[in-house]
């Protein structure tokens, strides 16, 4: 899914250098900078579709076990979680979430570590997310002290609705989590910056499949049958227009058909046809009421034609609604990348199943800049999606400082967590 803002955000000229961190973190990154890139490229070369991420799961688990950690696989065998450091007084840790799956599309990046699997590619940056959370976890495991630990969550199936986050929640993994964070690659943001927003940052997204049927017949005698293609035409144009008059325009509701199929011959009325599309909205209240409205409008649009209608409506996920304090934590932690590293971002119309975690615990998703600063600005889900690999180190620094407040450098000091004296 897309969590990227609809409009390109303004990159800044600062925040390029890896910021001041604790010395142990600099030491860890010096030793493992090449590993981060190697992990990311291994996952990128070997992409796996949703709920088939067995190889990626095994790869991450092996790296964690090699560090003496004890990863736990999810019941279906793809996806895993791993605790690092001590729990708090309530038995909980901070959750850091990555997603493992790739998309069913061909890669056209020309990179020498491009996908080796035809028809499957990491064009949403989930390979970057996995390497960053793995790196942050292993770095935190090497920290000299960690007052409250983290739970790394590598979930399957983010790209399908309603999303693998529900598998993670059903497995009880959130019961050990007090607050949860995630980063998503944003190719509109310059590497070294992090897009932050309190409140909704993505939109609710549903899928509607409409199946039409009728007797079929000769195009010379439409009065003896039902004009199925004509009915599809009404459906395609009327439903989005009518929906726009039934919901609050401020709700950022957008209904777009992505697939229409019917008929083959110019002179034959087909018996069957389908239209498939997405329904997206930025408001939780609108999302709650939109399915019955869509069903009503589809039936109303087609009714005069006499064509039979069947609707498969797939509820997706609500908007990712960043909790305000968590967004503030993200903004402060981004300060470790530079004084201007945290940039404001907009709510997108993309969907992200990270939303399901935020239904249960507070947290926030940030946008990790991956645009190199020159050259074309691509988008996620494009065959030539590109991520500047410097973002790996920035992502690790950000998550480490987010998860370990006592280790923050002085400019990030939280009144509740006095900064320790600097070591250099």
Tell me which residues touch Zn ion (CB under 5 A).
1, 124
Pair type for strands 80-84 and 72-73: antiparallel
Which residues 6+ apart lie within 8 Å of 75 measured at CB? Answer: 167, 171
**Is the Cβ of residue 291 or residue 389 nearer to Zn ion in the bound state?**
389
Distance from C-alpha of 128 to C-alpha of 112, rounded to nearest angstrom: 16
Closest CA to 204 of 2, 408, 419: 2
**Is the Cβ of residue 40 or residue 332 nearer to Zn ion in the bound state?**
40
**Is the Cβ of residue 11 or residue 125 nearer to Zn ion in the bound state?**
125
Distance from C-alpha of 169 to C-alpha of 177, rounded to nearest angstrom: 11
CB of 123 to Zn ion, least distance (A): 8
Distance from C-alpha of 19 to C-alpha of 362, rounded to nearest angstrom: 27
Distance from C-alpha of 130 to C-alpha of 62, rounded to nearest angstrom: 14
Closest CB to Zn ion: residue number? 124
Closest CA to 130 of 322, 290, 298, 368: 368
**Is the Cβ of residue 1 or residue 243 nearer to Zn ion in the bound state?**
1
Distance from C-alpha of 100 to C-alpha of 50, rounded to nearest angstrom: 8
CB of 23 to Zn ion, least distance (A): 34
**Is the Cβ of residue 124 or residue 152 nearer to Zn ion in the bound state?**
124
**Is the Cβ of residue 1 or residue 336 nearer to Zn ion in the bound state?**
1
Distance from C-alpha of 418 to C-alpha of 343, rounded to nearest angstrom: 25
CB of 326 to Zn ion, least distance (A): 19
- Half-sphere CA count of 207, side-chain side, radius 13 A: 15
- Half-sphere CA count of 54, side-chain side, radius 13 A: 3
Angle CA 109–113–118, to nearest 5 = 70
**Is the Cβ of residue 335 or residue 351 nearer to Zn ion in the bound state?**
351
Closest CA to 404 of 140, 228, 134, 73: 140
CB of 291 to Zn ion, least distance (A): 23
Distance from C-alpha of 273 to C-alpha of 210, rounded to nearest angstrom: 8
**Is the Cβ of residue 126 or residue 332 nearer to Zn ion in the bound state?**
126
**Is the Cβ of residue 124 or residue 132 nearer to Zn ion in the bound state?**
124
**Is the Cβ of residue 21 or residue 319 nearer to Zn ion in the bound state?**
319
DSSP letters spanning 249-299:
GGG--EEEEEEEEE-S-TTEE-SEEEEEEEEEES-HHHHHHHHHHHHHHHH
CB of 4 to Zn ion, least distance (A): 9
CB of 380 to Zn ion, least distance (A): 6
Dihedral pair phi/psi, residue 152, rounded to 5°: -80, 130
**Is the Cβ of residue 127 or residue 227 nearer to Zn ion in the bound state?**
127
Quick one: angle between helices 228-243 and 284-302, nearest 10? 150
CB of 419 to Zn ion, least distance (A): 34
CB of 125 to Zn ion, least distance (A): 6
CB of 1 to Zn ion, least distance (A): 5
CB of 379 to Zn ion, least distance (A): 10
CB of 322 to Zn ion, least distance (A): 16
Closest CA to 50 of 191, 147, 161, 192: 161
């Amino acid at each position: 899914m897309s969590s990227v803002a609809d409009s390109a955000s303004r990159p800044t000229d600062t925040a390029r250098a890896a910021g001041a961190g604790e010395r142990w973190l600099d030491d860890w990154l010096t030793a493992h900078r090449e590993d981060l890139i190697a992990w990311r490229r291994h996952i990128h070369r070997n992409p796996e579709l949703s709920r088939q991420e067995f190889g990626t799961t095994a790869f991450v688990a092996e790296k964690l076990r090699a560090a003496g950690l004890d990863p736990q696989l999810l019941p279906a065998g793809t996806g895993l979680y791993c605790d690092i450091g001590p729990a708090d007084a309530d038995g909980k840790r901070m959750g850091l979430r990555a997603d493992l799956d790739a998309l069913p599309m061909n890669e056209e990046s020309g990179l020498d570590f491009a996908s080796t699997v035809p028809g499957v590619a990491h064009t949403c940056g989930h390979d970057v997310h996995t390497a960053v959370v793995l790196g942050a976890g292993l770095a935190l495991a090497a920290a000299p002290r960690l007052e409250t630990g983290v739970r790394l969550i590598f979930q399957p199936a983010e790209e399908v609705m309603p999303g693998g986050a529900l598998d993670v929640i059903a497995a009880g993994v959130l019961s050990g989590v007090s607050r949860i964070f995630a980063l998503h690659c944003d190719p509109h943001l310059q590497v070294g910056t992090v897009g932050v927003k309190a409140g909704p940052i993505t939109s609710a997204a549903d899928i509607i499949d409409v199946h039409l049927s009728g007797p079929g017949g000769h195009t010379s005698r439409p009065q003896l049958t039902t004009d199925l293609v004509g009915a599809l035409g009404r459906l395609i144009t009327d439903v989005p227009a009518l929906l726009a008059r039934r919901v609050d325009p401020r709700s950022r509701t957008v209904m777009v058909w992505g697939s229409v199929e019917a008929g083959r011959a110019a002179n034959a009325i087909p018996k069957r046809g389908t239209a498939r599309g997405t329904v997206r909205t930025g408001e939780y209240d609108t999302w709650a009421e939109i399915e019955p409205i869509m069903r009503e409008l589809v039936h109303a649009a087609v009714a005069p034609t006499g064509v039979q209608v069947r609707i498969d409506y797939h509820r997706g996920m609500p908007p990712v609604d960043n909790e305000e304090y968590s967004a503030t934590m993200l903004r402060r932690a981004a300060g470790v990348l530079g004084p201007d590293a945290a940039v404001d971002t907009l709510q997108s119309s993309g969907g992200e199943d990270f939303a399901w975690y935020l239904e249960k615990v507070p947290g926030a998703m940030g946008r990790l800049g991956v645009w190199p600063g020159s050259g074309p600005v691509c988008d996620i889900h494009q065959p030539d999606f590109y991520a500047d690999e410097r973002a790996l180190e920035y992502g690790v620094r950000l998550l480490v400082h987010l998860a370990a407040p006592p280790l923050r450098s002085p400019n990030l000091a939280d009144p509740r967590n006095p900064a320790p004296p600097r070591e250099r």
